[in-house]
């Protein structure tokens, strides 16, 4: 198991990064929360989780241990895989997600793509007691640059959304005249509408 990787960020996107360490470039999937914390860095340490299946070995990276702990708790719930857990940590901050589970806020949990009423109830039932131990609860306009639109679209596609649907949602949000100073703001808003 790879606990963390410390290295140079040779490529960054809201969905994944390439982290070079010892001459090897690791392809690491990240959440929008992690992207927000590392987007301006050239070198960083990502706490990692290696997900092994018959067809792939996939690395997931997190800016801190708290987010990694939440991720591992989420994937322990029946029916929630790494992709859904990553979408959850992109839709809500780790603190918001923890708070929603502790307060049994099913509506907020169901706002995450891929989580319906049954999954939300199961998540609360299985994780409420564990979440209290994971971390400190008290933690708890138009875009002028077209690259923000492209980065947001790329991230949504990487998170498993249909390209046409993601494009339509992003374009509607941009036409509405809201101000999205950062790409992650646009992605979070799109995730709520998809």
- The per-residue pLDDT for range 97-133, each reduced to its tens digit, is 999 999 999 999 999 998 999 999 999 999 988 776 5
- 142 falls in which pLDDT band (50, 70, 90)? very low
User: Quick one: average pLDDT of 62-85?
Assistant: 93
Query: What is the predicted pLDDT for the residue at 133?
Result: 59
Query: What is the predicted pLDDT for the residue at 76?
Result: 93
Show Cβ contacts of residue 174 under 8 Å, excluding neighbours closer than 6 positions.
142, 143, 149, 180, 186
Query: What is the predicted pLDDT for the residue at 119?
Result: 93
Cα–Cα distance, 131 to 94 (Å, whole number): 11
Cα–Cα distance, 155 to 148 (Å, whole number): 10
Which domains are assigned to the chain?
A: 4-62 (2.40.50.140), 66-139 (1.10.150.20), 146-193 (1.10.8)
The per-residue DSSP string of 120-138 comes to: HHHHHHHHHHHHHHHS-GG
Instruction: Count other Cβ atoms within 10 Å, centred on residue 72.
Output: 16
pLDDT exceeds 60 at position 143: no
Please give the helix or strand (H or E) that residue 32 lies within, else none: helix 32-38
Which one, of 180, 169, 155, lies nearest residue 33 by Cα? 155
Mean pLDDT is lowest, of 23-27, 119-123, 145-149, for 145-149
Q: What is the mean pLDDT of the chain?
A: 87
User: Quick one: average pLDDT of 174-178?
Assistant: 77
Query: What is the predicted pLDDT for the residue at 59?
Result: 96
Which one, of 5, 13, 52, 8, lies nearest residue 158 by Cα? 13
User: Quick one: average pLDDT of 146-169?
Assistant: 84
């Amino acid at each position: 198991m790879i606990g963390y990787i410390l290295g140079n960020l040779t490529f960054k996107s809201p969905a994944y990064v390439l982290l070079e360490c010892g001459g090897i470039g690791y392809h690491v999937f990240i959440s929008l929360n992690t992207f927000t914390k590392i987007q301006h860095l050239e070198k960083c340490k990502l706490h990692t989780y290696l997900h092994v299946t018959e067809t792939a070995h996939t690395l997931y990276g997190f800016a801190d241990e708290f987010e990694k702990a939440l991720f591992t708790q989420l994937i322990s719930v029946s029916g929630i895989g790494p992709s859904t857990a990553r979408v959850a940590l992109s839709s809500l901050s780790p603190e918001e997600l923890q708070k929603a589970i502790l307060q049994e806020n099913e509506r907020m949990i169901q706002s995450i793509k891929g989580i319906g009423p049954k999954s939300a109830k199961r998540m609360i039932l299985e994780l409420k007691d564990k979440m209290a131990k994971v971390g400190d609860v008290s933690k708890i306009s138009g875009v002028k640059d077209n690259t923000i639109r492209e980065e947001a679209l790329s991230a949504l596609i990487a998170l498993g959304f249909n390209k046409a649907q993601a494009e339509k949602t992003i374009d509607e949000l941009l036409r509405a005249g809201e101000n999205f100073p950062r790409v992650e703001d646009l992605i979070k808003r799109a995730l709520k509408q998809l």
